[in-house]
Amino acid sequence: MKALYFQEHGTVNNLKFGEINEPVLDSNTHVLIRVRACSLNHLDLWVLAGWRGLELPLPHYGGADIAGEVEDPGESEVLQKGDRVVVCPGYLDGPEDEWSRAGQDSLSPSYKILGEARTGGFAEFISVPNHAVHKIPDNRSFEEAAAPLLVGLTAWRMLMTQASIKKGDSVLIVGSGGGLNSFSIQLAKSLGAQVIALTSSENKEEKSLKLGADIALNYLQKPDWSKDVIRVTEGLGADIVVDNVGAASFSHSLKAVKRGGTIVTVGNTSGPKLEIDNRYIFSKQIKIIGSTMGSAKDFDALLQHLWSNKLKPVIDQSIPLENGKEAYKILEEGKQFGKVVISV
């Protein structure tokens, strides 16, 4: 089968497109999927670059957000050849433990992410556990179905499960161009929140407002943007701050959050070393909560909300698998608004 793969960690130039061995189906527990679309995440850039302790069988190919058709259902009693499906990007792959028994799947050491701990969807076929496969509505294209999976699961857990968002809450989304934040704007708005989007350009301001943001602020024009957040929330600050930027933004997020409010940290696209004045934490009694990925229950709830509320992810562009290197470059440069999808 054809795949977009790498034989050693490094830069985008290490990516190759060509023939690779097709996965072997364990028919007792797995389903063979013919991949039709798979979107990119920053995780794909990090896996390509590699990190200390990441030991992957090579060659390796990434891709966590998979939509396609059932090629071989194995011994599944609910799936048939030709069914249109998506795959949960993170799932348990090991014995039960205290976290999995408590429904906290993504805390378990046996939790695996497609494209990270094992090969992903930047290939023509993938074999996945049948419990991770879900049917999709006929009115969704494969690209639309694939784009929100990892970011949607992450957004659902951080807003619903971790931050306990309520109707009427003010939610600040720090940055609006990436897939997670563009989807978080839509999700928070659909849950009845007042959404403030922090952006880097007039173009992204306009797009954020079209997505449903009530207010858009340009942090390049107003570097001390926490003051503007305080102003637009009538002197209170945001009930919930979503910060996946990290080093460049966290000190401002501490100032922008409401007294007794919550900061959810879900990433560090600008670096992991944070500058923290802990006086803001104890004097304002701020809750700082980490969040990553989500459980099977989170994913089920996300899909139900996604399909029933007709939320559609923002797709910046779709690129054929053979040109996948260009898709990586677009994500690396950070010029996209929404998701970059690879069509297979």
Q: How many CB atoms lie within 10 A of CB 290?
A: 10
Q: What is the pLDDT, as a whole number, of residue 129?
A: 92
Q: What is the pLDDT, as a whole number, of residue 200?
A: 85
Is 285 in the same domain as 320? no
pLDDT in tens, the chain (344 residues): 999 999 999 999 999 999 999 998 877 889 999 999 999 999 999 999 999 889 899 999 999 999 999 999 999 999 999 999 999 999 998 888 999 999 999 999 999 999 998 999 999 999 999 999 999 999 899 999 999 999 999 999 999 999 999 999 999 999 876 788 889 999 999 999 999 999 888 888 999 999 999 999 998 888 899 999 999 999 999 999 999 887 778 899 999 999 999 999 987 776 788 888 899 999 999 999 999 999 999 999 999 999 987 778 889 999 999 999 999 999 999 878 889 999 99
Is 138 in the same domain as 11? yes
Is 158 in the same domain as 283? yes
**Total domains, the chain:** 2
Is 222 in the same domain as 164? yes
Is 295 within a domain? no
Is 240 in the same domain as 338? no
What whole-number distance in Å separates Cα of residue 178 and Cα of residue 39?
A: 12
Is 21 in the same domain as 37? yes
Could you identify the residue written with the tokens 């992410």? 113
Instruction: Write the Ramachandran bin of 213: left for phi over 0, alpha for psi from -120 to 50, otherwise beta.
Output: beta
Tokens of 22: 């097709």
**Which alpha helices (H) appear in 90-213, and where do they start and end?**
98-101, 142-146, 149-156, 179-190, 202-211
What whole-number distance in Å separates Cα of residue 325 and Cα of residue 44?
A: 12
User: Is 321 within 8 Å of 343 (Cβ atoms)?
Assistant: yes
Is 14 in the same domain as 143? yes
Is 36 within a domain? yes
Is 297 within a domain? no
What whole-number distance in Å separates Cα of residue 309 and Cα of residue 77?
A: 28
Is 254 in the same domain as 271? yes
Is 208 within a domain? yes
DSSP state of 123: B
Is 221 in the same domain as 270? yes
Is 299 within a domain? no
What whole-number distance in Å separates Cα of residue 267 and Cα of residue 244?
A: 4
Is 20 in the same domain as 123? yes
At residue 159, the 3 state secondary structure works out as helix
Could you identify the residue written with the tokens 């200390």? 52
CATH number of the domain where residue 268 is located: 3.90.180.10
What whole-number distance in Å separates Cα of residue 45 and Cα of residue 331?
A: 8
E strands, 20-102, where? 30-39, 65-72, 84-87, 90-92
What whole-number distance in Å separates Cα of residue 240 and Cα of residue 287?
A: 10
Is 157 in the same domain as 137? no
C-alpha angle 96/100/106, rounded to 5°? 125
What whole-number distance in Å separates Cα of residue 260 and Cα of residue 280?
A: 11
Is 30 in the same domain as 134? yes
Select from 192, 186, 300, 175 the least CA-distant residue to 249.
175
Tokens of 312: 């559609």
Is 114 within a domain? yes
Q: What is the pLDDT, as a whole number, of residue 32?
A: 97
Is 272 within a domain? yes
Q: What is the pLDDT, as a whole number, of residue 245?
A: 80
Identify the domain containing residue 84 by its residue range: 2-147+313-343
User: Is 128 within 8 Å of 76 (Cβ atoms)?
Assistant: no
User: What is the pTM for the complete model shown?
Assistant: 0.91
Is 98 within a domain? yes
Tokens of 51: 């990190």
